[in-house]
Structure 1
Amino acid sequence: MDIEDLRSICLQLRHTEESIKWGNDLVFTIGAKMYCIAGMDHPLQFSLKVPPENFDEWCARPGVQPAPYLARASWILLQQPQNFSLDEIKKLVAESYHLVAAKLTKKQKAELGI
């Protein structure tokens, strides 16, 4: 898996926007809220939001750690995405997207039609 594979997965989700922040991080958002952050350096590493009840379980897996600066909000860092199947990564990205989209304001949801 490389950055283009991750871009493809994220950009298939409705209303996703991408931008570069902090100099070298590719950030995917919905309604201006981040749901995936990927370092553009090699090897690929990226952060996602997970349900709080699954956070510790995810962090116990090899190649996963609490995301720097975002762990308190239940974000994980996949340091070794090659340890996971493409289907598993797609599910993780979609779950992060839906968790973040659910927290948008009613006005934002109406504007996006979700």
Structure 2
Amino acid sequence: MTYDDFNHYCGSLPATTHVVQWGNSQVWKVGGKVFAIGGWNDKKLPAFTFKTSPLNYDFLSHKQGYRPAPYLASRGMKWIQQFEGSAELDEELLYYLAESYRIVSLGLTKKKQKELGLNQEG
């Protein structure tokens, strides 16, 4: 996945905002809370960082091409970085980005969720 693909996908999710910060990283937020970061790789390859469930964190921490996210995981947060991707893994990455978005949006206050039109029961 390229950073353009990453930005396009994250921008397609409801009520998201984008900012470039933290060393020129592509940072995506929902309700002011970060759910995905494009950047932070030591190599010239794209890297993507996202929040996970505790179970996915444990699984991905040991999977090739993934690692606990620099800075965030060392502070006890359940964030993972995909630092070695391929076209075959793009669909998997999209799933984890969507899950990160869901986890973060559900962590917003009910008032904020309502303001943003998120997680509303039909």
TM-score, scaled to structure 2: 0.86
Offset at residue 29 of structure 1 (A): 0.4
Aligned mates of 1:40, 1:74 — CA distance in 2: 17
Aligned mates of 1:84, 1:40 — CA distance in 2: 22
Residue 56 of structure 1 is matched in structure 2 by 58
Q: CA RMSD in A?
A: 1.6
Matched, 1:111 2:115: yes
What letter matches 1:101 in structure 2?
A: S
Aligned mates of 2:40, 2:18 — CA distance in 1: 13
Aligned mates of 2:23, 2:56 — CA distance in 1: 30
Instruction: Figure out how many residues of one structure are paired with residues of the other and give that number.
Output: 114
Give the SS at the match of 1:107.
helix
The worse-fitting range, judged by mean Cα deviation, of 76-85 and 60-69 is 76-85
Aligned mates of 1:91, 1:7 — CA distance in 2: 15
Aligned mates of 2:63, 2:31 — CA distance in 1: 30
Aligned mates of 1:40, 1:62 — CA distance in 2: 18
Aligned mates of 1:5, 1:93 — CA distance in 2: 12
1:36 and 1:93 in contact (8 A); partners too: yes
Offset at residue 85 of structure 1 (A): 2.4
What letter matches 2:22 in structure 1?
A: W
Segments of structure 2 that go 5 or more residues without pairing to the other structure are none
Aligned mates of 1:111, 1:68 — CA distance in 2: 32
Residue 39 of structure 2 is matched in structure 1 by 39
Identity %: 35
Segments of structure 1 that go 5 or more residues without pairing to the other structure are none
Offset at residue 98 of structure 1 (A): 0.1
Matched, 1:78 2:116: no
